[in-house]
Amino acid sequence: MTTSTIDSAEESKHQPSSGKKNQVQGGLLDPKMLWKALPDALVKLDPRTLWRNPVMFIVEVGAVWSTILAILSPSWFAWLTVFWLWLTVVFANLAEAVAEGRGKAQAETLRKTKADTMARRLTGWESGVPGREEEVAAPLLRQGDIVVVEAGQVIPGDGDVVEGIASVDESAITGESAPVIRESGGDRSAVTGGTTVLSDRIVVKITQKPGESFIDRMITLVEGANRQKTPNEIALNILLAALTVIFIFAVATLQPLAIFSKANNPGVPDTLSLTTNGVSGIVMVSLLVCLIPTTIGALLSAIGIAGMDRLVQRNVLAMSGRAVEAAGDVNTLLLDKTGTITLGNRQASDFVPLSGVTNEQLADAAQLSSLADETPEGRSIVVFAKSNFGLRARTPGELVNAEWVEFTATTRMSGVNLDNGHLLRKGAASSVADWVRGEGGTVPTELGIIVDGISAGGGTPLVVGQVVDGKAEVLGVIHLKDVVKQGMRERFDEMRKMGIRTVMITGDNPLTAKAIADEAGVDDFLAEATPEDKLALIKREQEGGKLVAMTGDGTNDAPALAQADVGVAMNTGTSAAKEAGNMVDLDSDPTKLIEIVEIGKQLLITRGALTTFSIANDIAKYFAIIPAMFVALFPGLDLLNIMRLHSPQSAILSAVIFNAIVIVALIPLSLRGVRYTPSSASKLLSRNLYIYGLGGIIAPFIGIKLIDLVIQFLPGM
């Protein structure tokens, strides 16, 4: 797993947003942003586009019908109502256009990068023949093509490095200025089209299909074009459509009711009791538009697009909206220990000598055996020995004729053979113990006690052994400590409040894994994990009806990433991992998974909160319109006119105006998202009902009354 650190685990935990490029403050209602999005909003008035949103399609049909009626029977009231009905449709389209427009500048830059890039394609390379080199446009590359890229050139397409090593600038994609190393083989072989080679030369095998490159997917994502609706969004659309149909039938029955009532009350004046030709139809359309859930119908698409945009701001590429929603419903979080929960670079914290060995002897042997060890652990041993035991700084060049023994996965130890026959080894306890026995020495039982004690405390034991004058012995143990990142326990406590179970995955032995898990505060751990173990764990969780999220970067992680409901692949990982996952983290920060879950939950909460607000709105609009419509027929309904609106005409027009304005007022909230604070589902529901349910009832009473006070002086009111 690629390691990464974060400055603070608490950073931006409640409002996921990035300080990187292309970040937009979606919470501000910028008039310039609205003005730029207006042409797109007008284009979306096309019924062939709008029919996908049943609620707003009905509003547009009503606006068309009202326009016809206003032409046949013109009046100030009729034309003002028609004007605001059309604005309601435009404002709904404006919300979606603003959400889509925020990514168009970035998409245009990415598209230009793709179109201007040329590729140096090689023929016959795989057969071992150098072949010839031809220059082709990047969009013409096909899967399996071989291209060569040298310093200063742009990588023309997604692929894997099959020869060479180079420093690559990925700032065009990730926003990070620090270059990264890409080389053939291993987990750092994947390269992304649009990035630039800074040094050396690499040969790349294209793995993308035409039109499916990383840049193509980013363009589609940031533009919001052809966005597939998520299952929850589809279900909510069906519910809104059903409510709309119910209200259509309910409103359709009012005209016969009014005609019947007037026939039985011939003395009633011919006002707005739905009997006046032309105006009666406009009043019914107004009632329908105000009672159906137009607010959430207008903002639903913008909420989904904004959720995806928040991921882009965090430098995460989601392959589908379904993955974002799944992140909000995750029950189990699988987190790699190294680089996610811990800092990843283990540091020497203590030397524990065996009986009969002094601290100075162990420190000297540990330092000598680590002089050529360039790993962070090896360097920390050298520094710890120097600073804590007064040993002078030494370099490998000082040891004349020394033979350095490098660490291998087979031997699991490293060290040095000095020219005087003095042999030193440090490494895994079992490996060094076997080496000492193989050299004719014995291993005291004390070693096992020390090793188990360090492991139980969450540390990593490295045993130091030596052979001097033909005598092999164990000197002691180096205690390496893997430091848990600051604030991780608090983050996991928050996950627990959200009902999410956290599982740490590590290759460490069970004792070490348990100690780290206890210190970090995770709910469970999987020690000595293999790719098969990860896959089996995910399947077990899913069989219990849970949704699982995990991160990975290697080819061996691909099966588990594909199986997980939310699989976040690291951008530095292999193409296989990125293809298997349904999200790619451009920063390659495994900790980002926690933030992705929070963004998913914020999306779901925002949608639920605005749905609650929209439906609650209808109650106040009911009290505004119904009494005004029938007060002439049924004077007793005047008791329901609790807002004491000026007239039936002003009451209806005020409700229509408020219905349109509230859409624009809620655009910032739909783009920014409702602030998410980790807590139980019941507490979140109570809070949303209190804020958005009660607020949705109170706000229209105030808003409609204020509008009525303004428009009562207009002609015809």
Q: pLDDT per residue over 206-230, tens digit each?
A: 887 776 666 666 666 555 544 556 6
What CATH architecture applies to the domain 343-483? 3-Layer(aba) Sandwich (3.40)
In the DSSP assignment, the letter for residue 529 is -
Q: What is the pLDDT of residue 393?
A: 65
Instruction: State the catalytic residues.
Output: 336
Per-residue pLDDT at 271 exceeds 50 = no
Residue 409, marked binder? yes
Per-residue pLDDT at 12 exceeds 50 = no
Q: What is the pLDDT of residue 20?
A: 39
DSSP 177-223: -S-EEEESSTTS-EE-TT-EEEESEEEEEE-PPTT-SHHHHHHHHHH
Query: Please, are residues 180 and 155 in contact by the beta-carbon 8 Å criterion?
Result: no
Report the pLDDT averaged over residues 46-55: 84
Report the pLDDT averaged over residues 14-37: 49
Amino acid (one-letter) located at 647: S
Q: What is the pLDDT of residue 396?
A: 66
In CATH terms, 316-341+485-586 corresponds, of 3.40.50.720, 3.40.50.12280, 2.40.50.140, 3.40.50.1000, to 3.40.50.1000
Residue 201, marked binder? no
Model confidence pLDDT, tens digit, residues 416-428: 998 788 899 999 8
Residue 373, marked binder? yes
Residue 410, marked binder? yes
Where, residue-wise, is CATH 3.40.1110.10 in the chain? 343-483
Residue 49, marked binder? no
Amino acid (one-letter) located at 515: A
Q: What is the pLDDT of residue 106?
A: 55
Q: What is the pLDDT of residue 15?
A: 36
Query: Please, are residues 503 and 534 in contact by the beta-carbon 8 Å criterion?
Result: no
Using CA atoms, how far apart are residues 597 and 404, in angstroms rounded to an integer?
Answer: 47
Q: What is the pLDDT of residue 110?
A: 58
The reported pTM is 0.65
Per-residue pLDDT at 666 exceeds 80 = yes
Residue 541, marked binder? no
Residue 192, marked binder? no
Q: What is the pLDDT of residue 7?
A: 32
CA distances from 398 to 394, 422, 480 (A): 7, 15, 26
Q: What is the pLDDT of residue 38?
A: 79
CA distances from 603 to 18, 236, 608, 672 (A): 17, 14, 9, 10
Categorize the per-residue pLDDT at 27 as very low, low, confident or very high, splitting at 50, 70 and 90: very low
Query: Please, are residues 625 and 290 in contact by the beta-carbon 8 Å criterion?
Result: yes
Model confidence pLDDT, tens digit, residues 402-420: 888 887 767 788 899 987 8
Residue 612, marked binder? no
CB atoms within 10 A of CB 544: 9
Categorize the per-residue pLDDT at 173 as very low, low, confident or very high, splitting at 50, 70 and 90: low
Categorize the per-residue pLDDT at 677 as very low, low, confident or very high, splitting at 50, 70 and 90: confident
Residue 433, marked binder? no
Contacts of 93 (CB under 8 A, 6+ apart): 40, 41, 42, 44, 45, 50, 56
Q: What is the pLDDT of residue 353?
A: 93
Using CA atoms, how far apart are residues 290 and 301, in angstroms rounded to an integer?
Answer: 20
Where, residue-wise, is CATH 3.40.50.1000 in the chain? 316-341+485-586
Residue 408, marked binder? yes
Where, residue-wise, is CATH 2.70.150.10 in the chain? 118-223
What tokens does 180 get?
């990264």
Per-residue pLDDT at 657 exceeds 90 = yes
Model confidence pLDDT, tens digit, residues 495-546: 888 788 999 888 777 877 888 888 888 999 988 887 888 888 999 988 888 8
Q: Name the CATH topology of 118-223.
A: 2.70.150
